């Protein structure tokens, strides 16, 4: 099978680029911590399924905001912020988990 036939059969769509897993695990953890959210505690208490944690990291990896995010997180006074930035693909879930976790 030649390259043209293979391209036709497989389609031309490409898988999205995923960023470095360790970088995005760190970003996910740091953004969560910046709003007072402990992802380990959320998983331990059952508020966050480990598969959903994996999805959080994958969403972070597939977005293109990691440089802006890293700069933002590193510039936070005391490492804290009131809410996650709007460009974060995990903002909605982080905000929901923080509300539940901070009520305790």
- Per DSSP, 16 falls in state P
- pLDDT tens per residue across span 8-63: 555 555 666 888 999 999 999 999 999 999 999 999 999 999 999 999 999 999 99
Output the CA–CA distances (angstroms, integers) from residue 93 to 3, 16, 53, 75, 97, in the order listed. Answer: 42, 22, 10, 23, 6
The domain limits of the chain are: 16-103
pTM of the model: 0.80
The pLDDT-based confidence of 4 (bands split at 50, 70, 90) is low
Output the CA–CA distances (angstroms, integers) from residue 80 to 26, 34, 38, in the order listed. Answer: 15, 4, 13
């Amino acid at each position: 099978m030649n390259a043209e036939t293979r391209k036709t059969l497989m389609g031309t769509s490409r898988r999205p680029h995923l960023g470095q897993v360790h970088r995005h695990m760190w970003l996910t953890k740091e953004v969560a911590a910046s709003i007072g959210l402990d992802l380990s505690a959320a998983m331990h208490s059952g508020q966050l399924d480990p598969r959903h944690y994996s999805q959080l990291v994958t969403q972070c990896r597939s977005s293109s905001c990691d440089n802006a995010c890293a700069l933002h997180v590193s510039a936070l006074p005391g490492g804290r912020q009131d809410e996650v930035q709007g460009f974060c693909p995990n903002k909605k879930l982080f905000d929901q988990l923080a509300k539940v976790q901070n009520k305790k």
